[in-house]
Structure 1
C-alpha cells in the first residue's frame, strides 16, 4: 500500500503561495491601480486594499483573536502608491505565515462563527491564491499557483462553496471545459471565468 502523504500545514501552504504571489505584487505599477479586475466591484487598488485587510485580520484569527471586517482601510494610499504598499504587503504576508506557524494555530476553532481553525486557514489561503490570480490578470502578468496549494484548496473550496455563496463571497460556478486544469476548476468554483481578461 502506498503511504499516505501527510498534509502540509497552513503555514507551509501560505509560504508557498506567498513566494509565487510576490513577483505579481512587485509587477503592479502605480498606473495599474485604477485598472478593472475579475472582481467586478474592485479595481486594482480596491482589490489590494481588500487583500491586505484579509491578510491582517487572518493574522488575528490564527491567534484566536477577534477580527474586524466592518470597514476596509486604504492601506495603499497610506503606505504609498509606488513601492510603499508592496513593501507593506511583504511584511504583512510574512506576519501571516508566522502567525499560522505558531503552536496551536490550526487547533480548535476560531472566528465569530467558531469554525475549525484549519477551515479558517483554508479561507485565507484561498483568498490569497485566487486574488493574486485576479491581480495578475488585471495587470497582464503570468501566475501559476503552487500545485500542492491547488490540491489542498480544490476540495476545501468545494466544501465551503455553499456557505460562501450564501455570504456572497463566491459567485455562481462558472462553466469550464472537460479538459480544464485543477486550478481553472478551482477558479470556476469561486464564480470566476478562467478566461477573463481586461476589455481592450
Structure 2
C-alpha cells in the first residue's frame, strides 16, 4: 500500500496517545533519551508546520531560533499536537504530495523520502510517548509494514545523521514494531524507571 493511504491511520493512532497524556506526565522521561514528554511534544510541534508545508511543495523554515530555545508547549499542548498531527497527515494524504521533490530544511529532497520519514516519526514517537506515559499503542499491520520497510532502508543514514542511536538487536521473530524500534536504536522493552 502507498504511504498516502496510511498517513491518517498512523496520525489518528498517535493523536489518540497524545490526547491521553496528563499534565503531570509532561516531565516523564521517554525512550528517546534526549527528550522528556514535554520536549518531545515540543519537537513535534516545532517541525509540524514545515512537514505540513512540504506536502504542498512549500518551503517553510522553522523559527530561526534552535528547537530547544522555543517552548511551544504552552496552553493545552496535547490538543495542539493532536491537531498538528491531523493537519500534517491530511496534507500528506494527497498522492501529489509524494511526487517529485519537496523543500524541507533548506534543501529539496525526494518527496517519498520525506513522506516515509513522517510516517516513521508518527509511529516511533507515538510509541515513545505511549511508553513514557504508561499507555498501550497498536498501529495497524499495513502501517507497521510500511514503516518497517522505510526504516530498514533509511536506518544507516539515520544513524550517520545522529537521528537514530546504535541498533538494538531484536530477534527476527519479534513483532514488526519491535524490529522497527530496534533499528532506530530503541529498546522495545524500555520501561519508565
Alignment TM-score, normalising by the size of structure 1: 0.87
Query: Does the aligned pair in 2 maintain the 1:38–1:192 contact within 8 Å?
Result: yes
1:64 CA displacement: 1.5
- 1:4 maps to none
Q: Which moved more, 1:56-65 or 1:29-38?
A: 56-65
String of CA shifts for 1:2-32, please: whole Å, max 9, x gaps. Answer: xxxxx2342x311001221222112111110
- 1:105 maps to 97
**Of 96, 114, 118, the match for 2:88:** 96
Alignment of 1:149 onto 2:143: yes
1:91 CA displacement: 2.1
Alignment of 1:137 onto 2:131: yes
- 2:72 maps to 75
Query: Does the aligned pair in 1 maintain the 2:17–2:129 contact within 8 Å?
Result: yes
**Of 78, 85, 110, the match for 1:86:** 78
RMSD: 1.6
Distance 1:146 1:127, change over 3 A: same
Q: Which runs of 5+ in 2 are unaligned?
A: none
- Partner SS for 1:41: coil
**Of 38, 50, 64, the match for 1:57:** 50
Q: Which runs of 5+ in 1 are unaligned?
A: 1-6
Alignment TM-score, normalising by the size of structure 2: 0.90
1:36 CA displacement: 0.6
Alignment of 1:183 onto 2:180: no
